[in-house]
Homo-oligomer: A and B are copies of this chain.
Amino acid sequence: MPKESDFRLVESPVPRPASGEVLVQALYLSVDPYMRIRINGASSYAQSVQPGEVMVGGVVGRVVESNDPRIAVDDVVEGMLGWQKYAVAPAKTLRKIDPKNAPVTTALYVLGMPGLTAYFGLLDICHPQPGETVVVSGAAGAVGSLVGQIAKIKRCRAIGIAGTNEKVRFITQDLGFEGGFNYKETPDYTARLKDLCPNGIDVYFDNVGGSITDAVMKLLNTRARVAVCGQISQYNADRPEMGPRWLGQLVAKQAKVEGFLVHQFADRYDEGLRQLSTWLREKRIRYREDIVDGIENAPRAFIGMLEGHNIGKQLVKVG
With the chains together, A256 CA to B210 CA distance in Å?
Answer: 18
- Encode A100-113 as 1/0 by CB contact (under 8 A) with B: 00000000000000
Kindly state whether residue A259 has any CB partner on chain B within 8 Å.
yes
Q: Which 9 A-B pairs have the closest CB atoms?
A: A250-B259, A240-B244, A251-B259, A45-B252, A256-B258, A231-B248, A242-B242, A257-B257, A243-B245
- One complex includes copies of this chain to the number of 2
**Chain B residues with CB under 8 A of A213:** 247
**Chain B residues with CB under 8 A of A230:** 251
With the chains together, A255 CA to B227 CA distance in Å?
Answer: 10
Which residue of B45, B210, B253 contacts A245 across the interface (Cβ within 8 Å)? B210
Q: How large is the interface on A (under 10, 10 to 19, 20 to 34, 35 or more residues)?
A: 35 or more
Whole-angstrom distance between the Cβ of A257 and the nearest chain B Cβ: 5
Whole-angstrom distance between the Cβ of A2 and the nearest chain B Cβ: 17
Q: Do A259 and B249 touch across chains, with their CB atoms under 8 A apart?
A: yes
Q: Do A253 and B259 touch across chains, with their CB atoms under 8 A apart?
A: yes
Whole-angstrom distance between the Cβ of A168 and the nearest chain B Cβ: 24
Q: Do A241 and B244 touch across chains, with their CB atoms under 8 A apart?
A: yes
**Chain B residues with CB under 8 A of A228:** 247, 250-251
Residues of A within 8 A of B (CB): 37, 44-45, 206, 209-210, 213, 228-231, 234-235, 239-261, 264
Q: Do B44 and A247 touch across chains, with their CB atoms under 8 A apart?
A: no
Specify the chain B residue showing the minimal Cβ separation from A253: B259
Whole-angstrom distance between the Cβ of A279 and the nearest chain B Cβ: 25
Given contacts A45-B251, A250-B228, A251-B230, contact A245 B241 (CB under 8 A): yes
A selection of 16 A-B contacts at a CB cut-off of 8 Å is: A37-B252, A45-B253, A209-B247, A210-B245, A231-B247, A231-B251, A239-B244, A240-B244, A242-B243, A243-B245, A250-B257, A250-B259, A252-B259, A254-B258, A255-B258, A256-B259
